[in-house]
Chain A
């Protein structure tokens, strides 16, 4: 509520002044990050390993798809070029 009243009284670019953004970030850190910090940094370390594994899999699939599309475009291009 306090933050909302300050936004109304503050002149800025659509109410999103630097001060308001800083307050929002502070509120986010105090109410969200501080309570879950222990979980994210210590308890769920193995889940981050799993997330990295999944990210690696996604990267491999994407690069393979790009390579396949590039090869397909290359194989089609000489056929078009001969016309």
Chain B
């Protein structure tokens, strides 16, 4: 009986996933408000599926059940609506998603660490932090990251596992400078044999030391065969022990997880002063039974430290503990616990991974998803009827349902959303068009990202532009490499009115 089953199933969920949905400040104007409604970054579609779908499906495949989804207060309604809609309920049946808000506005600039501090009391076990914009490759399983964390935290006292991927280098001509600076290359130092993350350069380090990379000698003594690379980017996927949150509370001046906290965590493993200070917090004595006794008997494990300078003067007492210990869990001596931060590297050859958090990467991810599927005309007759027979839609495009495509329109390498109306003789190449857009006849779009409800007038030409939701482009206008923002209009108070033509003033928006 179901009744019995539920009471037998042990409710100790090993991990809770924390999915962070931010504002998406690097995706403005796509994430700017549509009138009064917010356009949450988490719901921006990638290949016509909301961005949030991807990390949630990833979680679904890894047998984690509890998900804590954090979003800013204004976005709560939209995200909650999506979570309860039919499409999401069927795609993630086993996830229990708890939507929480954090009080923040774009201006207050709270970092991810503050968010975690706010929700710390809801997290009672080891947790995984995932950003809403990470698109994992199908070959990469979250279970691999979890397994590494599970193995190492039991064996070694490791405190976290991070995930870095090798981003494909964009071609020169596809990068549009006006959309924002590419993120600077991030040097990281890691040890390949044990998979330990040793050092991540922070922006502070970069400012202070300019051209140099500074490493401590204790790092090199512990890991003489470390490797250095700048071609990896942080996936912002961190599996951490619960005690890491306590350490976070201690360091109340740290704001950003990725930029400050993880580099700080990496230093604990080889810095004796930090170890002494934070060791007790990160490895609290607890009543939970550990495998220390078994590890003492294990033939491939020694409790001796690797290097003499790490230890107190050797006494035979330490070595004899295996024989004389009773069965109570031993207080973990600090030279047993390594406080390592593990790392999993995902190479470009293993599959495409990206974080869609800037305009450039958003476009790249969409393009990549297009290469994975081929387009075929929709099967239901209603959608079919809307697409004109003389329209040319190439096989590497994607068109959402109920989208009307006029005759002699050519669509190549593009993602078109749902309920769009595309007129005749339109040329769309390499674009991402969100839902409900209207593109009038004869328009030409090249490498653009159009927000929801954008209206493009007849014979307009747009090249590498980004428009905010609800923007209107007059007929015959032409823009190149610009971010088109509704605030450039002088008047409008309602959204998308045909009457206001007062927008002849379109300035150049810099990031």
Same assembly: no
Interface residues of B (CB under 8 A from A): none
